[in-house]
A and B are shown apart, each in its own frame.
Chain A
Amino acid sequence: MAKVLFINPVVREEDVPRHVPYGIALLAAIAIEKGHLVQVYDANAWRAGDEVLDTVLAADHWDAIALGGITTAYGSIKKIAQRARQACPNAKIILGGGVLTSLPTEIMTWLPQVDIGCIGEGFITFPEILNSIDLGQEEFNQVRGTISRNAEGSLVMAPQRSLLHDLDSLPYPAWDLFPLEEVYFPNSTALFSEEGMMAERRLDINMSYGCSMICRYCYHLGISGDMRYEVDKNGKPSGVSFDQPGTYNRTIRYHSPEYVVNLVKHMHDKYGVDFVTFLDENLMTMDRTSGGTWLGRICELWHEKGLAPTFEADGSWSGVCWSGTSHATLCNPEILKIMRKAGCVHLVYGYESFAPHVMKTIGKGATPKTNIRSFHWTLAADIRPVPNQIIGFPNEDFASIRMNMDAWKDLGIVVKPHFATPYPGSEWFTVYRNSIERQYGGNLEDFILDLGDATKITAVISHNFNAVELVGLRDMMLNFDYRHLEEYEMIWRDNHGIKEGAPSTLYSEPKLKKAS
């Protein structure tokens, strides 16, 4: 059986490592279940540098080195792939996750060290790749869901892999292979609620895949039915595409409530977990898709299994508190109250903006009115809403900026907004690709290397403001500096020839152009 080394790349270097990589933990469990010999080196957890990485690569004769992550891990992945190729010339280097899926051809071109890319979901594809390695195969174009190199070194895409529908057939993640006691549990704190702050043994779970919404800045990693294969004139797969204006596909999948709660019970009993974060894109989508039964049943079972927390006077608890993601339009007061009773303490809302004209363009299916309604419902249920905000949308203007500042004041929201960022795989990446490339001197890889968690500015998609303006405007928003904002608006209007009283915008609906 294949000797496999998983390496979790470094991500969000500015913060301590907080999240066991759920996908790698699942794939490691699947590989073990299939009888392979597995080791995990969690480079993100250890942050130990190149010397240790070289020791890891030299620790054995690896048949496969598996890397994966989200797009923002690209810089680390590139470095690891280079060192791995040098240290282990005979190992097959496999890359998967969002980073590869969003731009398979480009990434395989930029990383010649990678032998096989796993496009989209790896639950079936990855063990099939390992099986091919065991059989001594040198070409992988018969494994669906892969991109690899043929004998001539050209890239070959195999046909698309179907999504796994029986999610409950998945084993539990191999958490034992990650430094829980050494790294992750000491970093349990999640500053989103009092309970999150006090968490001592937190782990994350992902119990559903997909989201019914079509947010133009969002990317679903090819696991939500959002990915389509393009074919060449011979009918062979030649690339992938994602959301485009007017073309959206979604597949919603979720674990059964029994699987969810049995998994949490296992985490509580085996690891002493006191807090669970649902990483799911949007818990409320699942609840709606299930006819409003999914979350309620999870909460019922949470009580039945004795996981619902009981609190002491000092705020500590026994049981398992939890948090997740909600949606302004899809939530309702009844389910929020039920969730709170079962231990839900905070919910992340992508409110994004309190300006109606901005909300209309982002595909969120929410309005400032539903934002505010859900905000009050959530507080009334005694759950802390985490009100995420974004500035720099394509039609962001002075009016929307003031609307946001007014809403933050009225609602007591304390926030430093993200910058609207066109991550690869999102509709806005497709729409604005030419502009993004121009902003990076024609070098798309530089943009990928520059991407972070959208707290710093990268490629600008605002029609009205450049990077300098957006950074300055954000600072004025944080300080509720209406005076300087007004002053600058006059300068901006003058620069752009827009008279006072006319809408402060140069925005027009973007048209899709093919990448050059």
Chain B
Amino acid sequence: MDVLKGNFQTKKPATLNKKSDNESLEDRFEREALKNLGGSIAFVSKKKVLWGDEDQN
């Protein structure tokens, strides 16, 4: 999808590639959960946590 809109043709196109075009399911879930945060709606933001460390077992 073209992200530039104007009155002439640019030398090179500027488009949304698949990677940034499609929000991941994880991102979508965290965004929606954040909107309703409170009470029993709580979640782990996976990008902010490191797990699997042996010391924690």
Contacts and interface: CB of A to CB of B under 8 A. Distances in A.
A192 interface: no
A55 B17 CA distance: 10
B7 interface: yes
Interface string B1-30: 101111110111111110111000000000
Interface residues of B, number: 19
State the main secondary structure of chain B at its contact with A. loop
Contacts of B14: 41, 52, 55-56, 58-59
Contacts of B11: 59-61
Given A42-B3, A46-B16, 18 more contacts: A14-B34, A37-B6, A38-B6, A39-B4, A40-B6, A41-B14, A52-B16, A52-B17, A55-B14, A55-B15, A56-B3, A56-B4, A58-B14, A59-B4, A59-B12, A60-B12, A61-B11, A179-B5
Given A56-B14, A58-B12, A37 B3 contact: no
Contact of A32 (B7, B12, B15): B7
Contact of B8 (A14, A39, A52): A39
A315 to B, nearest CB: 25
B26 to A, nearest CB: 16
Nearest to B23: A47
Interface string A46-84: 101101100110111100000000000000000000000
A51 B20 contact: yes
Contacts of A177: 5-6
Nearest to A45: B3
A35 to B, nearest CB: 10
A38 B17 CA distance: 23
A38 B8 CA distance: 7
A176 interface: yes
Given A52-B20, A59-B11, A59-B12, A176 B5 contact: yes
A232 interface: no
Contacts of A408: none
A49 B4 contact: no
Nearest to B5: A177
A182 interface: yes
A178 interface: yes
Contacts of B34: 14
Which of B6, B7, B12, B34 has its CB near the most chain A CB atoms (within 10 A)? B6
A345 to B, nearest CB: 25
B3 A49 contact: no
Interface in A144-196: 176-179, 182
Contacts of A60: 10-12
B7 A52 contact: no
A47 to B, nearest CB: 9
